[in-house]
Amino acid sequence: MALSGPVHTATLTDNCLVRNDWVCGEYVRTRWDEIMEALGQHVTITVVSVVIGFALALVLAVIARRVGWLRGAILGTSTALYTIPSLAMFSLLVPLTKLTATTVVIGLVLYSLTILVRGILTGLDAVPGDVREAAVGMGYDGFRLLRKVELPMAMPAVFAALRVATVSTIALTTIGMIVGHGGLGNLIARGQRSNFHAEVLTASVLCVVLALVADVLLLGLQRWLTPWRRGVRA
């Protein structure tokens, strides 16, 4: 029995990879392992950089808070580091750390200090003096005062800075592609060189999604750590 009507014959142009479409499910399906590897590297570099940056910024902020004459030097230095172009920063680090992920991490840690040091310091400065004096009168001093009184009250400002620094670090991690360790930035750079639309768009969208997820997770962590502020909009 003969079929009536036109019969569609599949051709190469039906493949979104061949057409070089911006949105292409076939690209995601065929390059899934490659995408996940790049995403994993991106997340790892971001997390390591933010954790190290936060720890270093906390120490510097506490020093700046306790030693007044160092405050200007610490804030000025962290700001100056942020003004160094990323290409120049990585070029200066390569002779020391070679073409490794360490180069990217060090650069990202230095960039994060401007946001984190100022944010933590702002939070500590906002702790009311009478609260601090009352805590000292109850026997709190030094590290115990910082951990039990000052940091809990500084949490809103600290997390605001941490959220901005994290999102910024996720974006800046892509620049690591110049040393071969840019996570999703590697895919974006390769896609641009080969004019591969799906690769560029997919990696770019994943960067945005990663930043949004990280921000939501940090907001949730903030609310969990500050139950007394759950009724206040972050």
d(CA 143, CA 140): 8
Tens of pLDDT, residue by residue over 181-200, are 888 999 999 988 888 888 89
144 within 8 A of 135, measured Cβ to Cβ: no
Higher pLDDT, 68 or 1: 68
- What percent of the chain clears pLDDT 90, i.e. is strictly above it? 34
User: What distance in Å separates the CA atoms of residue 82 and residue 89, rounded to the nearest whole number?
Assistant: 10
Residues 6 or more apart whose Cβ sits within 8 Å of residue 138: none
Confidence band, pLDDT 50/70/90 cuts, at residue 145: confident
pLDDT at 105 over 90: yes
Residue 20, sorted as left (phi over 0), alpha (psi -120 to 50) or beta, turns out to be left
Q: Compute the average pLDDT of residues 29-33.
A: 88
Contact 63, 70 (CB under 8 A): yes
How much is the average pLDDT of 106-118? 92
- The CATH classification number of 23-226 equals 1.10.3720.10
Who wins on pLDDT, 8 or 38? Answer: 38
pLDDT at 26: 83
The domain segmentation of the chain, as residue ranges, is 23-226
According to the model, what pLDDT value does residue 1 have? 41
80 dihedral zone (left: phi>0; alpha: psi -120 to 50; beta)? alpha
pTM: 0.85
